[in-house]
């Protein structure tokens, strides 16, 4: 097949996207596909015409465009199939506040939250008990996120987000262990436990992408009841958001066994240290086989 590999883009996660694209390109070559690399930051105006001549598009974009559904909408207009969620579901999942409303409506626990916009201003009252996380409402890789421990730190944390994004999500800090759960097709993959090696309170950008940034244990050493509960909640969230093909959700599990879903990623990372490929490997998928399965699922859902 003629496959367009779409990566790069213009978000703050551009470098992560390009890093993952190198390994994806190698897998596509190994699968025997004719690959055209496409960076929307360089040639966006030609995406529609290029997509019309392709058999499939493999999207490896993070943030906007890509996770916001823009690229998927253009590909739909070109009748070019691709892996993962469509435009509406992508946008819903990327918007953390909107996704949390969906979680809550479907009985999935998520930390208490508050949405703050620039129209409310940096002096808006904090509605949650400290400490809290302040993060961009649309974005990933923990970029722009702050752990706010005092009221005096809150305005600066909002400013940091507003420099990147038009709205800030304020989220209650819940102590516990971080667990991630991937979905592939209609199956929940084994959980991975994430523990930052440097003693950080959360899985920040450096911990995510440095080779020795965090200890990632798969399958996670948690009891079967908690594992089953998280996997079921992730399947529910995946369906409720309208996602297809694959996704990955981040959870916090407390000492008393409660699990809280933080967010769902519709284009999980595909770097050498990425989580979904590690979980897929545990159930028998090589990286190349995983790419092939994502293509199969994408074609199945759109042809």
Query: Which residues are known to be catalytic?
Result: 13, 141, 209, 248, 250, 263, 265, 269
CA 218, distance to chain mean position in Å, is: 18
**Residue 205 DSSP code:** H
Strands (E), 75-158: 113-116, 132-136, 146-148
3-state secondary structure of 42: helix
Q: In what order do the strands lie in the sheet with 168-172?
A: 113-116, 168-172, 132-136, 146-148
Q: Which of 111, 96, 101 is nearest to 259 (CA)?
A: 111
Q: Where are the alpha helices (DSSP H) in 193-303?
A: 205-209, 224-240, 275-282, 287-302
């Amino acid at each position: 097949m003629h496959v367009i590999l779409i990566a790069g883009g213009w978000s703050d996660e551009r470098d992560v996207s390009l890093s993952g694209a190198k390994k994806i390109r190698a897998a596509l070559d190994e699968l025997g596909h004719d690959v055209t690399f496409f960076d929307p930051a360089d040639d966006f105006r030609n995406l529609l015409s290029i997509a019309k001549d392709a058999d499939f598009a493999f999207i490896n974009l993070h943030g906007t465009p890509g996770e916001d559904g823009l690229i998927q909408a253009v590909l739909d207009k070109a009748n070019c199939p691709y892996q993962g969620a469509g435009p509406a579901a992508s946008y819903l999942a990327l918007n953390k506040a909107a996704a949390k409303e969906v979680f809550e409506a479907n009985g999935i626990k998520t930390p208490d939250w508050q949405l703050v916009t620039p129209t409310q201003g940096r002096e808006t009252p904090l509605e949650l008990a400290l400490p809290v996380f302040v993060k961009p409402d649309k974005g990933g890789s923990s970029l722009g996120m702050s752990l706010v421990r005092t009221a005096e730190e809150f305005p600066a944390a909002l400013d940091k987000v507003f420099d990147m994004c038009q709205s800030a999500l304020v989220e209650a800090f819940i102590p516990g262990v971080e667990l991630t759960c991937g979905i592939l097709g209609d199956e929940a993959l084994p959980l991975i436990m994430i523990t930052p090696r440097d003693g950080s309170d959360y899985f920040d950008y450096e911990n995510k992408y440095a080779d020795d940034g965090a200890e990632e244990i798969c399958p996670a050493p948690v009891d079967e009841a908690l594992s089953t509960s998280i996997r079921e909640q992730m399947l529910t969230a995946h369906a409720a958001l309208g996602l297809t093909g694959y996704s990955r959700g981040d959870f916090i599990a407390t000492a008393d066994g409660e699990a809280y879903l933080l967010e769902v990623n519709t284009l999980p990372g595909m770097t050498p240290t990425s989580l979904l490929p590690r979980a897929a490997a545990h159930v028998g998928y090589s990286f190349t086989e995983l790419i092939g399965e994502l293509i199969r699922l994408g074609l199945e859902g759109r042809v």
